Amino acid sequence: MTNRRVLVVDDEENLRHMLRVMLRRSGYDVDEAADGADALVLARRAPYDFILCDIRMPVLDGPGFLRAAREEGLPCTVVMMSAYGTIDTAISCMKEGAYDYISKPFKNDEILLVLRKAEERERLKSENRRLRHEVAREYSFGNIVSRSARMREVFRLIEKVAAVKSSILILGESGTGKELVARAIHYNGVRRAGPFVAVNCGAIPENLLESELFGHVRGAFTDAIADRRGLFEEAHGGTLFLDEIGEMPLSLQVKLLRVLQEGEVRRLGGAKPVQVDVRVVSATAKDLPAEVAAGRFREDLYFRLNVLSIALPPLRERMEDVPFLVTHFVGKHGEELGRRDAKVAPEALKLLMGYDWPGNVRELENCIERGLVLSEGGIVGIESLPPVVRRGGAAPLSGLPTDALSLKKAEELLEREYIRRALDTTDGNRTHAARLLEISHRALLYKIKEYGIE
C-alpha cells in the first residue's frame, strides 16, 4: 500500500500528529488540516484518495465540509471521526455521501481496517468501470450488448442495411431485442435526424389500429372530434417500426400494402391522400411463411416487408453473452437505483448461466433489476434471484389433457401456465409480467381475472 494520499482533518493537533505518524508508517502520504475550510483549500488543489474528517470543528465543521465537497464535485472518499454523542450526526453524514465513520477514541488498527475496506471498495468501483467501458467499447452496437459470433454478424448486417431505404423484417423470439435492432438501424442510417416511431400491432384493438396508423378526419367516427395525424405521418422523414406485424388483421394488411406501394396514406374518413416518406421496419416472433400458408397473412405483403431480413438468435443459443449482459444491466439499473457499486455474486452468476431464458434478454434484464432491488449490501446473491431461476429452469408444463385433443383447452392451460411463470419471474409485478408476455397491462389483468390466478 503506497502512494495513497490521505488528508486528516481535526482541530486536535495531538490527534493529527498521531494519525500522521501511524499512517505514514503504513505507507500513506499524509496532509493535515485544522478545520473544514482549510481542508477544502487542500482538496481543491489535488484530489485525495481518502479524507479522515472530524465532525465538531471551528470555522467549518465536518458535515459542512462534506456538503461543500459534494456540491463542488470534489472526488474524495470521506470517513467521519465522531466522539461520543455524535454518532447520529455521523450516520446522517453517511446518508449525505460519507463512506463510513469511526468512533473516538479508536485503535490504530481500526483506522487501518476502515481505510483498507475503502481501498477495496475503490478498487471494485474501478474494476466495474473498466468492465463496463470494455463492454461498451468492444461488445455493443448502440444499446445491444454481445460478444457472440452470431450477434456480431447481426451488427454487420445492421451496418449494411442502415444506409438503404428498403423494408426490413426482424425475426426473433419474444425478448430478443427486436426493437433495439430497429432503433440501431434507424440511428445508424441516413434517417437518424428524422423521427423513430414504434407501434405494437398486437397491443392495439383492431377498431383503433387503423386510425392509429393512418389517422382520421373530424367526424370519421363518434369520438373523432378533430383531425388527427396517424403514425405514418408522424414518422415522415424517419422510420416506422411495426412490432408484432404478424398480429395485424387481414383487413388492415391490404391498406398497409397500398401505403408501401404508393407512398401515401388516406386518413380514415378522408378523401385526399397524404404523401409520406417513411422507412418501414417490422418485426415478429411468428413464422410468417406458415401464417401465409394458413391464410392469416397476405403473401404479397410478406414479400413487400421482407426485402431484407435479420434473424436474432435466442439467448439460450448465445450463453457466452450472459456475463456481459449482466454487467451491462447491473450498471444500467444500479445507476437508476442508486447502487452504483453493485455486483453479482459468483454463485448467482453460475445460476444465471445455467438457466435457459425462455423470455430471452428481456427476462434477464428484469431478473437483474429485481435482484438489485432485493439485494443486501449491493451484492446480488442467489436469494435475490427469481424462484424459477433458482430452480434452474421452469417446471414442465402440467395439467395438459391426456385424454382429449381440444386445442382450445390446451391453449387456455398453456396461457395460464405462462402467465403464472411471468408473474413468478417478476415477483408478482404485473406491469413487468405484461412486458415479458408481450401483451398489454389491461389484457393481462383481464386474463388473470378470467383464469382466477392469485
Closest by CA to 54, choosing from 102, 117, 112, is: 102
- The model's pLDDT over 350-362, given as tens digits with 9 standing for 90+, comes to 999 999 998 999 9
Q: What angle do CA 118, 120, 125 make, to 5 degrees?
A: 95
**Residues in the chain, overall count:** 454
Cα-Cα-Cα-Cα torsion 126, 132, 137, 141, nearest 10 degrees, comes to: -170
Q: What is the mean pLDDT of residues 436-447?
A: 82
- State residue 142's pLDDT score: 61
What pLDDT sits at residue 196?
92
> CA of 68: how far to CAs of 86, 249, 411, 427, in Å?
20, 61, 62, 41
424/157: higher pLDDT = 157
Q: What is the pLDDT of residue 407?
A: 66
Residue 101: all three cell numbers together: 465513520
* 313 touches 201 (CB < 8 A): no
pLDDT of residue 309: 95
What's the number of CA atoms in the CB half-sphere (13 Å) around residue 448? 20
Q: Which residue has the higher pLDDT, 378 or 161?
A: 161
pLDDT cut 90: percent of the chain above it? 43
Cis peptide before 105 (omega within 30 of 0): yes
pLDDT at position 443: 81
* Distance separating alpha carbons of residues 320 and 76, to the nearest angstrom: 37
Instruction: Compute the half-sphere exposure of residue 388: CA atoms within 13 Å on the CB side of its CA.
Output: 25
**Hey, what CATH topology would domain 146-313 get?**
Rossmann fold (3.40.50)
Nearest to 56 by CA among 85, 20, 24, 91: 85
Cell of 194: 428524422
Is domain 4-135 given the CATH code 3.40.50.2300 in the classification? yes
User: Going by C-beta distance under 8 Å and a sequence separation of 6 or more, which residues neighbour residue 133?
Assistant: none
Cell numbers placing 40: 477544502
Bridge partners (DSSP) of residue 268 are: 216
Every domain of the chain and the residues it spans: 4-135, 146-313, 316-451
**Structure confidence at residue 37 as a pLDDT band (50, 70, 90):** very high
Q: Is the dihedral of CA 190, 196, 197, 198 positive or negative?
A: positive
Report for 79-88, 324-333, 375-384: range of highest mean pLDDT = 324-333
- Amino acid at site 157: L
Residue 133: the pLDDT is 57
Instruction: Render pLDDT for 141-163 as a digit per residue (tens, 0 to 9).
Output: 666 888 888 998 999 999 899 88
CA quadruple 126, 131, 136, 137: dihedral sign:
positive
CATH 1.10.3720.10 matches 316-451: no
Tens of pLDDT, residue by residue over 81-98, are 887 666 777 778 887 788
- Rounded mean pLDDT of 44-63? 89
Give me the chain's average pLDDT, please: 86
**CA dihedral over 294, 296, 302, 303, signed as positive or negative:** positive
Confidence band for 396, pLDDT divided at 50, 70 and 90: very low
**For range 249-277, the mean pLDDT:** 91
* The predicted structure's pLDDT at residue 139: 47
CA distance 31 to 282: 63
Per residue, what are the HEC states of the chain?
CCCEEEEEECCCHHHHHHHHHHHHHCCEEEEEECCHHHHHHHHHHCCCCEEEEECCCCCCCHHHHHHHHHHCCCCCEEEEEECCCCHHHHHHHHHCCCCEEEECCCCHHHHHHHHHHHHHHHHHHHHHHHHHHHHHHHCEECCEECCCHHHHHHHHHHHHHCCCCCCEEEECCCCCCHHHHHHHHHHCCCCCCCCEEEEECCCCCHHHHHHHHHCECCCCCCCCCCCECCHHHHCCCCEEEEECHHHCCHHHHHHHHHHHHHCEECCECCCCCEECCCEEEEEECCCHHHHHHCCCCCHHHHHHHCCEEEECCCHHHCHHHHHHHHHHHHHHHHHHCCCCCCEECHHHHHHHHHCCCCCHHHHHHHHHHHHHHHCECCEECHHHCCHHHHCCCCCCCCCCCCCCCCHHHHHHHHHHHHHHHHHHHCCCCHHHHHHHHCCCHHHHHHHHHHHCCC
- Res 1: pLDDT: 43
- The domains spanning 146-313 and 316-451 adopt the same CATH topology: no
Burial class (CB in 10 A: 0-12, 13-18, 19+), 325: buried
The percentage of the chain sitting over the pLDDT mark of 70, rounded to a whole number, equals 91
Does pTM surpass 0.85?
A: no
Of 77 and 395, the structure prediction assigns the larger pLDDT to 77
**pLDDT mean over 445-453:** 83
131 closest CA partner among 328, 365, 371? 328
pLDDT reported for residue 404: 53
As a whole number of angstroms, the distance between CA 106 and CA 109 comes to 8
